[in-house]
């Protein structure tokens, strides 16, 4: 099996290295990932600047890992499919991200966007993220679970363009309780900014790390992660609100 591995934390991130080690048990792995951290890059792509690439090797300087791209996660997937890979991959894996990508974070996530980009090209793509508590990550165990879930998804031969979002709960709080297939939570988050003034009198803001979902819907990715379940959410990229189409079609429209 040919696996394309990418992420948004950058090609040197420990989560990617841990997941790569596990994925090597399943087949050949080629990494095409951002040269630098691209957290919360969403589905941004690079139009205005060139995408520089560099070959990356293991510490032995001879084992080829893949390419570092000075661009966004979605750029990496495009470049891999159109230019860098000699043969198309059988599956695209994105991660393992340091921090979960659940709820509306799915839309901010560069990890998920890279998987969506793969699905644009009708590849099966799986995003894998690991939740944390106090910035402690057991990437090794998280990657083992990630690989097991990936294997079980692929065992069902999902049709081309299938897209999955896998989140692994905090592993330091006790044993995981199993795997749940659940929808993305869509309830609001609360957040705030830290307002400051620079020495020249100009106002600026820092995004606060307090980005929390006070009222998640039950039986969603967000709630199950809190309850120590691994979550699997099948995704799609049609943003049409089909439920409201018929009503809105009946509205009167005119232009002058």
Q: How far apart are CA 18 and CA 21, in angstroms?
A: 5
Out of 172, 178, 212, 227, the residue judged to bind its own copies by CB under 8 A: 178
Please pick, from the candidates 21, 26, 85, 176, the single residue that binds its own copies as defined by CB under 8 A. 176
Q: How far apart, in whole angstroms, are the C-alpha atoms of residue 78 and residue 51? A: 11
Task: Give the integer Cα–Cα distance in Å for 65 and 74.
Answer: 19
Binding mask 205-224 for its own copies (x = CB under 8 A): xxx-----------------
Is residue 215 within 8 Å of 209, Cβ to Cβ? no
Q: Which of 58, 83, 133, 215 binds its own copies (CB under 8 A)?
A: 83
Q: Which stretch binds its own copies (CB under 8 A): 14-22, 26-34, 88-96, 190-198?
A: 190-198
Shortest separation between residue 56's beta carbon and its own copies, angstroms: 13
Residues 39-68 within binding reach of its own copies (CB under 8 A): 39-48, 50-54
182 and 188 in contact (C-beta within 8 Å)? no
Rounded Cα distance, 68 and 59, in Å: 15
Cβ 169 vs Cβ 141: under 8 Å: no
**Total residues binding its own copies (CB under 8 A):** 86
**With respect to its own copies, which residue has the nearer C-beta, 122 or 140?**
122
CB of 148 to its own copies, least distance (A): 5
Task: Determine contact, residues 65/57, Cβ cutoff 8 Å.
Answer: yes
Query: Of the candidates 68, 92, 102, 106, which one interacts with its own copies according to CB under 8 A?
Result: 106
Under the criterion CB under 8 A, does residue 11 sit at the interface with its own copies? Answer: no
Q: Please identify which residue in 59, 61, 87, 251 interacts with its own copies, judged by CB under 8 A.
A: 251
Which region, judged by CB under 8 A, interacts with its own copies, from 15-23, 57-65, 88-96, 151-159? 151-159
Distance CA 220, CA 125 (A): 21
| Main-chain dihedrals φ then ψ at residue 139, nearest 5 degrees | -65, -35
Query: If you ran DSSP here, which 8-state letter would residue 150 be given?
Result: H
Contact call for residue 129 and its own copies (CB under 8 A): no
From the CB of residue 121, how many other CB atoms can be counted at a distance below 10 Å? Answer: 17
Binder of its own copies out of 59, 60, 86, 256 (CB under 8 A):
256
183 binding its own copies? (CB under 8 A): yes
Judged by CB, which is closer to its own copies: 47, or 61? Answer: 47
Binding its own copies by CB under 8 A: which of 16, 184, 222, 223? 184
The 3-state DSSP class for residue 34 equals strand
And the tokens for 83? 């230019």
């Amino acid at each position: 099996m040919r696996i394309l591995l990418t992420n948004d934390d950058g090609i040197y991130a420990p989560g990617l290295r841990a997941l790569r080690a596990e994925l090597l048990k399943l087949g050949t792995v080629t990494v095409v990932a951002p040269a630098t951290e691209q957290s919360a890059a969403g589905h941004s792509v690079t139009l205005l600047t060139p995408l520089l690439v560099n070959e990356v090797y293991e510490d032995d300087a001879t084992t080829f890992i893949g390419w570092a791209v000075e661009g966004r996660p979605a750029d990496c997937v495009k470049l891999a499919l159109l230019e860098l890979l000699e043969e198309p991959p059988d599956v695209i894996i994105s991660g393992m991200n340091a921090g979960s990508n659940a709820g509306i974070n799915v839309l901010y996530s560069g990890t998920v966007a890279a998987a969506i980009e793969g699905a644009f090209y009708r590849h099966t793509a799986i995003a894998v993220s690991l939740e944390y508590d106090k910035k402690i990550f057991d990437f090794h165990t998280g990657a083992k679970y990630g690989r097991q879930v990936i294997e079980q998804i692929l065992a069902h031969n999902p049709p081309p363009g299938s897209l999955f979002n896998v989140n692994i709960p905090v592993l330091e709080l006790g044993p995981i309780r199993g795997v749940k297939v659940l929808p993305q939570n869509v309830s609001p988050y609360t957040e705030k900014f830290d307002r400051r003034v620079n020495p020249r009198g100009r106002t600026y803001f820092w995004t606060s790390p307090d980005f929390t979902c006070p009222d998640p819907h039950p039986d969603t990715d967000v709630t199950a992660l809190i309850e120590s379940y691994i979550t699997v959410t099948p995704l799609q990229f049609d943003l049409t609100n089909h439920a409201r189409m018929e009503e809105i079609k009946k509205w009167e429209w005119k232009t002058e």
